[in-house]
Structure 1
Amino acid sequence: MADILDWTNANLDTLDMATHEAKADEMAARLREETGAGKLPFLTMPYANTLKDELEGLKEYLKGFDHMLLLGIGGSALGARALQEAFFPQQNQPGHKGPFLWIADNVDAYALEAYLARLPAEKTVVVTVSKSGGTIETVGQYFILKEWMQEKLGDTWHQNMLLVTDQEQGFLRGEVKTYGIRALPVPDNLGGRYSVLSAVGLIPALFLGMDIDALIAGATEVSSILASQELTGKELAKHSSFQLAVWAAALMDKGFDEMIFFAYIPLWASFGDWFAQLWAESLGKEGKGSQPLPAIGVTDQHSVNQMFMDGVRNKACLYLSCPNLPAGPKFPVDLPDQFSYVRGRDVGELIQAEGLGNRMALSQSGVPLVELEMGSDSPKQAGKLIALLGAATILTGWLMGINPLDQPAVELGKRLAKARMNADGLDEEKQDLNDFLTADRDLREF
């Protein structure tokens, strides 16, 4: 079945779509310019063929391990986790015997100590992902795992390490050159939140046996026209990514400053967290943007959905569904009369009914909603979704007049954390930190 965007309940007639639709020619010209200059590898994927060859060369190597420990944070981990939970759910199910992917995406002493105590070093590959090679949350864990591998494996420790970093520079690239550690590059101009279909997300996918070719093919199906040097404004105006961007920008113009991502494909729920970073880090600039709100169907119908439907009228919704999910086991026939409506029916029918009911309820409550109905929950469809939302995010940022590819506000907290650890330099941050810590505090026990 086809993948469809259902605009029926998007409230298009209440929004000023024309103002942004009129920018199709301008946006098409900008896409031609930036893709031609190599600035949007997320769309052009010039690295795809080389990457496929590099991944093919890793297959036999990775088969020698039972465990992969991925060290990464933000975009270096969220995409990998979404793919794992979507296409390797057995790791979270009873009786799984391997392979195992572990993702260390936080400064978490409990988890790190567990990895060091329980993972068999000789059967574990440690994959460290940092484009800059300077992300302390990630590289700090690399230092600890490097020492652990040296203690456990001696001179062969580097054979159990794999680095994903800048092709030419940075601390981790220096480690590659010094120790001969295997490495794959993060392409230039590819930010972390746009990197899931590079080595960043595809190495874990390969380890778990996913169909990488299908993921890339799906993404290419959506992005190829956007990457064309022949792209016209007329063609862009018909593209779903531009239509979503126009809708999102028009919503923000009217005060809809929260975007719900409601996933009714249970195994794809973690794409909500991936989308949240993509949307927030790309569009939260200069006092602008809309707050992404990941939600899981049916789970969140019983929690935050009350706010969505009866709270402040500032929310819109991207509603992810698939009519072709597994049927699952049947409900027993011998049920009390009050549950007679599910007697002998497939469990899968219930989530479809719940999804339909909640979609209607949100729409009737005044929440503008576009349904992304996937023809299947396959890797190819996931690739299409990743490319569609990534392109829509970039175009939304351009329509807003901001840069969707940087994240300037994120850096301040990082600098202050380094100042707290007494890193060299950062005199201004250290003074700010001292002023903050020595100020009078309003402390109250509870």
Structure 2
Amino acid sequence: MTTNTLDWTSAWNGRLSQKDEQRHAARCEELATHLYKELDDNKLPFINLPYRKQLEKELLEHDPWLQSFDHMLLLGIGGSALGTRALQRAFYPEQDMPNHTGKRLWISDNVDAGTFEEWLKCLPTEKTVVVVISKSGGTIETIAQYFVVREWLKQHLGDAWTDHIMLITDANSGYLREEVNKLGARSMPVPDNLGGRYSVLSAVGLVPAAFLGIDWKALLDGAMSVGDSLCKRECSKHTLQNHPSWKIATWAKTLMEEDYNILLFFTYIPTWASFGDWFAQLWAESLGKDGKGSTPLPAKGVTDQHSTQQLYLGGPRDKGCLYLTCPNQPEGMTFADDLPEKWNYLRGEKFGTLLQAEALGSRMALTQTETPLVEIKVGKTTETEAGRLIALLETATVLAGWLLEINPLNQPHVELGKRLANARLGASGYDEESKQLEHFLGREPDIQEF
């Protein structure tokens, strides 16, 4: 059996003390009770996946239709895109290879008018399915893209355009749900109480995964294996205290208490590097409230050894590190025996051994500079292990939020920028924001050319 492990050997470096972990244990009984109540009330569906049976049924029903297309254009932003991109790059990397002729996933997760227009010029409409993702059904960036794509489909396909769309949104309310009801278009629900950054293992991430042929059932199996012990009736203080997600949460809380305000997510699995971007949103949007939280910083090995690691090793001692590795990665080609004498130690070695050596060297360097570091080692880079990693980090994030005494499931400050943008666009109902905009834009400018 493949083993996935957390290595805590270097976790309590620097200003940290393992006694702090024991101090946080005093809250374990309280939070175990709270966890089980939240699970019972279906407030944490990303842990126990109560929607799995219906999700599997609907995915299997839609799969023949999905497979009839060569291209998928996904309209979504933030949690509607980051997890999907991580899955594509981890388990369908051939899309980014030279001369690829198979299926392609195009993720439009920004307001980039030039790129978007070029995509619509080049994509073959008759072989493209458009998937629109917004839990609320009112995300302005996604809805604006939908309005443009809707006209593009109508122009090329006429009345058949609705056969080329799927809307993934709230089951009961919102503009996209109204569109589903009006058009009779295909749709799948975002389950209740499932925020975007926690939604990758729902229709949000698994519809594109199914389209690409990724083993989405294994992703779900992996996730459920992590949360299984927490979902049982006999879940107790001792169950939670022995769970790896609790240990990550208490370690992260201790980091913040000791002014380690940056949490590196250093990935030494090249195809999994985009999980760093997914984690950054998960951690930042969940914990950055009430003046609390820490800044997640994705880093890719070995690339960032040659860019930002100078700061990690020689800069302020304000960083902890989650360090993602796998010992069983492709070894690649063998170096020839006629290498120059200076490089003779590479003769007969596999190219992939360089990655493992760099991963060890970087980890040792961080440890020697007393950076608190936890190594997350997955035995294999399969969908099952990815599902386990996703569930581990999601659960740890929630527990860290509770330890910080904030709500890790909302994002109140994200809404401010949205309201101001809507006011700028002339939407009604934003009188206060319009006043703020008038004041902001009316300031005396202080501008310098460069």
Would you call these one fold, judging by a TM-score over 0.5?
Answer: yes
Aligned residue number for residue 239 of structure 1: 243
Task: Map 1:394-413 onto structure 2 (within 5 A).
Answer: 394-413=398-417
- Please say if 1:168 is aligned against 2:162: no
In structure 2, give the amino acid aligned to 1:36. Answer: D
Tell me which of 417, 441, 445 is aligned to 2:445: 441
CA drift of 1:18 comes to 2.2
Q: Mean alpha-carbon deviation: is it higher for 61-70 or for 219-228?
A: 219-228
In structure 1, give the amino acid aligned to 2:294. Answer: S
Taking the aligned partners of 2:180 and 2:234, their CA distance within structure 1 comes to: 40
Aligned residue number for residue 28 of structure 2: 24
Taking the aligned partners of 2:410 and 2:94, their CA distance within structure 1 comes to: 36
Tell me which of 248, 251, 254 is aligned to 2:252: 248
CA drift of 1:115 comes to 1.5
Taking the aligned partners of 1:21 and 1:314, their CA distance within structure 2 comes to: 24
Aligned residue number for residue 308 of structure 1: 312
- Please say if 1:105 is aligned against 2:109: yes
Whether the aligned pair in 2 keeps the contact of 1:283 and 1:404 (CA below 8 Å) is: yes
In structure 1, give the amino acid aligned to 2:17. Answer: T
- Please say if 1:432 is aligned against 2:433: no
CA drift of 1:24 comes to 1.1
- Please say if 1:3 is aligned against 2:7: no
| 1:84-106 CA-partner distances (Å, limit 9, x unpaired) | 00000000001100200000000
- Please say if 1:285 is aligned against 2:286: no
Percent identity of paired positions between Structure 1 and Structure 2 = 56
Q: How many residues align?
A: 446
1:396 partner SS? helix
1:145 partner SS? helix
Tell me which of 214, 220, 231 is aligned to 1:216: 220
Q: Mean alpha-carbon deviation: is it higher for 322-331 or for 5-14?
A: 5-14
CA drift of 1:117 comes to 0.2
Taking the aligned partners of 1:239 and 1:420, their CA distance within structure 2 comes to: 47
Tell me which of 190, 193, 197 is aligned to 1:193: 197
Taking the aligned partners of 1:128 and 1:291, their CA distance within structure 2 comes to: 30
| 1:290-319 CA-partner distances (Å, limit 9, x unpaired) | 100000000000001011111110100000
Whether the aligned pair in 2 keeps the contact of 1:31 and 1:227 (CA below 8 Å) is: no
In structure 1, give the amino acid aligned to 2:118. Answer: A
Whether the aligned pair in 2 keeps the contact of 1:36 and 1:229 (CA below 8 Å) is: no
| 1:234-261 CA-partner distances (Å, limit 9, x unpaired) | 1110000001001000111111110000
Normalised by the length of structure 2, the TM-score is 0.98
Q: Structure 1 runs of 4+ off > 3 angstroms? A: none
2:429 partner SS? coil
Q: How much is the aligned-residue C-alpha RMSD, in angstroms?
A: 0.8
CA drift of 1:193 comes to 0.2
Aligned residue number for residue 379 of structure 1: 383
In structure 1, give the amino acid aligned to 2:151. Answer: E
Aligned residue number for residue 42 of structure 1: 46
- Please say if 1:324 is aligned against 2:302: no
CA drift of 1:227 comes to 2.3
| 1:35-90 CA-partner distances (Å, limit 9, x unpaired) | 00111101111110110111001111011100000000000000000000000000
| 1:317-344 CA-partner distances (Å, limit 9, x unpaired) | 0000000001111122211111112112
| 1:330-386 CA-partner distances (Å, limit 9, x unpaired) | 122211111112112111111000000000000101110000000000000000000
Tell me which of 263, 270, 285 is aligned to 1:266: 270
Runs of 5+ unmatched residues, structure 1: none
1:165 partner SS? strand
In structure 2, give the amino acid aligned to 1:264. Answer: Y
Taking the aligned partners of 2:232 and 2:31, their CA distance within structure 1 comes to: 13
| 1:131-167 CA-partner distances (Å, limit 9, x unpaired) | 0000010011011101110111001100000010000
Taking the aligned partners of 1:84 and 1:406, their CA distance within structure 2 comes to: 27
In structure 2, give the amino acid aligned to 1:117. Answer: K
Tell me which of 138, 141, 157 is aligned to 2:142: 138
- Please say if 1:151 is aligned against 2:155: yes
CA drift of 1:19 comes to 2.2
Runs of 5+ unmatched residues, structure 2: none
CA drift of 1:202 comes to 0.2
Taking the aligned partners of 1:389 and 1:63, their CA distance within structure 2 comes to: 31
Taking the aligned partners of 1:408 and 1:225, their CA distance within structure 2 comes to: 31
CA drift of 1:211 comes to 0.5
Taking the aligned partners of 2:34 and 2:79, their CA distance within structure 1 comes to: 25
Taking the aligned partners of 1:294 and 1:320, their CA distance within structure 2 comes to: 11
Taking the aligned partners of 2:230 and 2:86, their CA distance within structure 1 comes to: 25
CA drift of 1:230 comes to 2.5
- Please say if 1:361 is aligned against 2:362: no
Aligned residue number for residue 81 of structure 1: 85
In structure 1, give the amino acid aligned to 2:448. Answer: R
Taking the aligned partners of 1:229 and 1:47, their CA distance within structure 2 comes to: 19
Taking the aligned partners of 1:56 and 1:130, their CA distance within structure 2 comes to: 22
Q: Mean alpha-carbon deviation: is it higher for 378-387 or for 108-117?
A: 108-117
